Amino acid sequence: MSDQGIKSRPKYQPIAPDPQGRHHLLVVDGPEVPTEALAEGVTPSAFEVWTVARKSAVPGSAAMDEEAGAVRVFRAVPHLFSALEERLARETMGLRLYAAGPETFLWDANGIGARAGLSRQEMAFAHVGAQARRIFCVHCRTVMEGVTTSITTCAGCGAPLFVRDHFSRRLAAFMAVQVDAEVPGEVPPAEELYS
């Protein structure tokens, strides 16, 4: 993959429970914890795990334990996120939040954590699965999901956009800038880079 040398682009590490933490909650965009999301020797049993089944017929869990080893299954990502907001609002100091999945899932989870008062020291993320990018058109603020090419057309203002490696954790998106602003029509061919 190309590297534009921009330092705002996040770097990710496989997850291991922070030994300083008192309780560890791992949210996953998928039906189970991907092995590559965890550091060597770490098993999902070290965490309370929340997963996403992507199906409607998910029965409510009987126990709803809030402890390491417990697993809760959600229908979809928004379902999980709304439960996460409720949970963090009544949590006490000592919790650590971890997330594994595509980049937008990670940084949307980060936003929920930050609004609940978690600092960067209390969260950790592993990027697994799709490399496709959420992009933010800096000219018209349109957000586009699943972009896989170096250049794409803005769905909002029609500009041919170059996808920079400059990443906003707040927007969970990469910056996209008109590529032919100086000489209209001078658009390089798009490359498939983020699939």
Partner 1 sequence: MTLQFKPAETFRDTFTYRKSPEDILRFPFPFPEDAYMYSVNIEPHVRGGPTAAFQAAFDIDEHYIAECRERERVLKEDPKRCQVLPHMLAAEWDSLELIMESLAQDYPEHFSLTRAGDLWTWVNRPLNIHQSFTFGKVETLPCGPFEYITRQAQGDFTLQDQRDDNLYVDGGMVTTQADWSLEFDIGMSFHEWHGPVPLAHEKGVFDRALKYLLRLQYGQPVRRLNWTMTVNPRLDTSPENYPVWGPDKASVTPENVADKVHLRVELQTLYRLPRSNAILFGIRCYLTSVADIARVPKWRRRLHRVLRDLHPDIAAYKGLPRFRQMVVDHLAPLDDGAPTSRGIAPDTDVLAG
Partner 2 sequence: MTAGDPLHVRVRDIVELAPSLKRFSFEPAHGGLFPTPPAGGHVMLTLRDGARVMKNAYSLVSAPMERARYDIIVRLVAQSRGGSAFLHRKVMPGDVLEMASPVSLFPLAATARKHLLIGGGIGITPMLSFLPELKARGARFELHQLAGGEEAAVFERLLAPYAAGEEIRVHGGGRAAFDLAGLLSRQPLGTHVYVCGPHTLMDAVTGTATALGWPRGKIHKESFGGAGGGLPFRAILKRSGIEVEVGETQSLLEAIEAAGVDAPCLCRGGACGECMTPVIEGEVDHRDDFLSAEEKAGGRLVMTCVSRARGPRLVLDL
Q: Which residues bind partner 1 (CB under 8 A)?
A: 5-9, 119-121, 136, 138-139, 141, 159, 164-171, 175, 177-178, 181-184
Counting contacts by CB under 8 A, is residue 56 touching partner 2?
no
How is residue 192 annotated by DSSP?
B
Residue from the set 9, 14, 21, 142 that interacts with partner 2 by CB under 8 A:
21
* Closer residue to partner 1, CB minimum distance, 37 or 161: 161
Q: Exactly one of 119, 170, 183, 185 binds partner 2 (CB under 8 A); which one?
A: 119
18 vs 165, beta carbon nearer partner 2: 18
Q: Which residues contact 90 (CB under 8 A, 6 or more apart)?
A: none
DSSP letter (8 states) at residue 100: E
Nearer to partner 2, 96 or 127 (CB): 96
Q: Does 77 help bind partner 2 (rule: CB under 8 A)? A: no
Is 96 a binder of partner 2 (CB under 8 A)? yes
CB of 23 to partner 2, least distance (A): 7
Q: At 98, phi and psi to the nearest 5?
A: -125, 150
- Residue 32 DSSP label: S
**DSSP structure string for 132-179:** -EEEEETTT--EEEEE-BSEEE-TTT--EEEEEEEEETTTTEEEEEET
